[in-house]
Amino acid sequence: MDAAGMIVSLVRDASTSLPADVEFALKKAVRREAKDSPARMIVKTILDNCALARKESVPLCQDTGTLTFFVSDSLKRRFTRRAIERGVAAATAKGYLRKNCIDSVSGVSHDDNCAPGAPVIHYCEKPGVTLLMKGGGSENMSRQYSLPDSSLGAGRDMEGVRKCILDAVVKAQGYGCAPGILGVCIGGDRATGFETAKEQLLRSLDASSSDPRLAKLERHILRDANSLGIGPMGLGGKTTLLGVKIASRPRVPASFFVTVAYMCWACRRRTILP
């Protein structure tokens, strides 16, 4: 199969099949929520939806999102922008993607989901080709904080970082299609903050940070967020987040950013190793 054909398969699988670790986390959530509660009904509905989408090979969510590809440097001659765009256009024609790409000035749709800057492609050191699909509802709930933040009483320490991350969860309520997953970057500049936070969403839910300090923070934020009572779709319950993935980047002395990328339950990611 040529590179464009492999991209079509990658898009189809990512769009129609929720990753196993996310589905497993949702199944655990069903058992945690009270019988007959809205929370339990919503998570069961999500699981039924995902089983149906996989069986019928249809998008599991109608917002097929921003497409971000991470391509290994060693594959850049095969997986060129042109080849990836051909694959995305073909996947759109087959109905695996909604027409989801709007010219920001004219308001006109790029019907094949391809335009300068779309899809997003990062050539990097990660092995293989990875696709992340992130919907707009959740992207609208992502936030960046600059410490110190007097409105939150958040200083330049790990307690300040914790206050920011939990504030992002409270502000998101159910609007980002909870239960969500957080990708967080402590530090960096504004641009690398968002980029690094989003990249954390590629980590499997069962992969803790290799830095024991961050692994501990991930555990504590997950526990605290799930005690807030927001729950699936913001209608109350014990499952507000399915996972928290934190990384840190160096900063300059004058800046201290905390960046939170909010991902909905429909965390569509997939890697192929051609």
- Closest contact distance (angstroms) between CB of 145 and another protein is 13
CB-nearer residue toward another protein: 54 or 251: 54
- Closest contact distance (angstroms) between CB of 258 and another protein is 14
CB-nearer residue toward another protein: 128 or 236: 236
Binding site for another protein (CB under 8 A): 36, 38, 41-42, 45-46, 48-50, 52-53, 56, 58-63, 95, 98, 135, 137, 150-153, 162-163, 166-167, 170, 173-175, 177, 224, 227-231, 233-236, 264-266
CB-nearer residue toward another protein: 42 or 114: 42
- Closest contact distance (angstroms) between CB of 192 and another protein is 27
Helix 38-56 and helix 20-32: axis angle, to 10°?
Answer: 150
Reading the block at residue 267, the tokens are: 């965390």
Q: How are the residues of the chain apportioned to helix, strand and coil, as percentages rounded to the nearest 5?
A: 40, 20, 40
CB-nearer residue toward another protein: 114 or 168: 168
Cis peptide leading into residue 232 (ω within 30°): no
Buried b (16+ CB within 10 A) or exposed e, 21-59: bbbebbeebbeebeeebbbbebbbebbeebeebeeeeeb
CB-nearer residue toward another protein: 207 or 235: 235
**Alpha-carbon gap, residue 137 to 103, rounded angstroms:** 18
- Closest contact distance (angstroms) between CB of 64 and another protein is 10
Cβ proximity of 130 and 149 under 8 Å: no
- Closest contact distance (angstroms) between CB of 225 and another protein is 10
- Closest contact distance (angstroms) between CB of 272 and another protein is 23
CB-nearer residue toward another protein: 74 or 227: 227
Fill in the DSSP letter of residue 263: E
Cis peptide leading into residue 253 (ω within 30°): no
Location of structure tokens 């069903």? 30
- Closest contact distance (angstroms) between CB of 27 and another protein is 16
CB-nearer residue toward another protein: 2 or 48: 48
**Alpha-carbon gap, residue 228 to 103, rounded angstroms:** 38
